Amino acid sequence: MKSDPRNLLRIAGVETPLIGFYDAPDPAPFEPVVQPAPRSRVCVFAFYERWLEGQTLHITRERCGCRGAAHWLFGVETRSRQSFVEFLVDDEGLKSSHGLMEEWLDHSSPYRQEHPHILIGPLVAGQVGYLKTVTFFVNPDQLALLMLGAQYDSGPDDPLPVIAPFGSGCMQLVTLFEDLSIAQACLGATDIAMRHHLPPDVLAFTVTRSMFERLCALDERSFLYKPFWARLREARGNQGPGGGRLRG
């Protein structure tokens, strides 16, 4: 992958580092890394501030934080199927009935890990072979821009360029993509259980490698250089997430 996102990020005013999801044999190239405490049930997104500081979250089957990440990222069963359904429906209220949750589970599969280490953090040069997805953390205006970009090269018979399926925050990073080889994006950070780890005006936009390449290839013919985006930025006073002034 030979993709340079700098121009896209400049025009979009995205200053938050891009976050990669890596499935790798060795965590050493991703230093500095941080891991969940042993036997802790901490959420993946509790490390958001660490990502902004340049650190990478390193998780494994034995040390992955919450039960949700254990199941959806590693296929580790931490409870019975019945207990899982009762927790999701009766305790969390995420579906209207046990039957609907059963159906959803029947159609959902954990991510199939290729290597012993999952690493989530800033993009690392030389590790693209292990990169599965890239996540933009953006405000609603920037999300709209990226959604338009994801659909720029998409035809009516192509796979959906943007999906927004039901699932946990960590699932939205990789698990909910049925085929990581196609150009596709997932609207993320919509799981209210993890949103308290993020600023209130920030959502996630996670893309496969091929979709990342498409976004980085947007040129002068595209909407990035046309009046709509310039007018929107002017209307916002060039303000980014949290009131910071946008670049460019």
Distance of CA 136 to the CA centre of its chain: 7
Residues 6+ apart with CB under 8 A from 143: 187, 203, 205
Assigned domain for 245 exists: no
Q: What is the secondary structure of 55-119 as a DSSP string?
A: -EEEEBTTB-SSHHHHHHHH----S-HHHHHHIIIIIT--SSSHHHHHHHHHT-------SSEEE
Give the domain range for residue 70.
Answer: 6-75+110-240
Assigned domain for 197 exists: yes
Q: Looking at the 3D structure of the chain, how many domains does it have?
A: 1
Q: How far is it, in rounded angstroms, from Cα 104 to Cα 176?
A: 12
Could you tell me the pLDDT band of residue 3, with boundaries at 50, 70 and 90? confident
Assigned domain for 105 exists: no
Assigned domain for 50 exists: yes
Is 38 in a helix, a strand, or coil?
A: coil
Q: How far is it, in rounded angstroms, from Cα 104 to Cα 98?
A: 10
At residue 34, the pLDDT reads 97
Q: What is the secondary structure of 179-195 as a DSSP string?
A: -TTS--EEEE---TTTG
Assigned domain for 89 exists: no
Could you tell me the pLDDT band of residue 39, with boundaries at 50, 70 and 90? confident
What are 154-212's pLDDT values in tens digits?
999 999 999 999 999 999 999 999 999 999 999 999 999 999 999 999 999 999 999 99
Provide the pairing of β-strand 56-59 with 117-122.
antiparallel
Assigned domain for 43 exists: yes
Assigned domain for 10 exists: yes
What are 101-125's pLDDT values in tens digits?
999 999 999 999 999 999 999 999 9
Residues 6+ apart with CB under 8 A from 126: 29
Exposed, middle or buried, 171 (CB in 10 Å: 0-12/13-18/19+)? Answer: buried
pLDDT at residue 245 tops 90: no
Query: Which runs of consecutive H residues, i.e. helices, occur in 118-244?
Result: 140-151, 209-216, 227-235
Assigned domain for 21 exists: yes
Q: How far is it, in rounded angstroms, from Cα 239 to Cα 87?
A: 41
Distance of CA 6 to the CA centre of its chain: 19
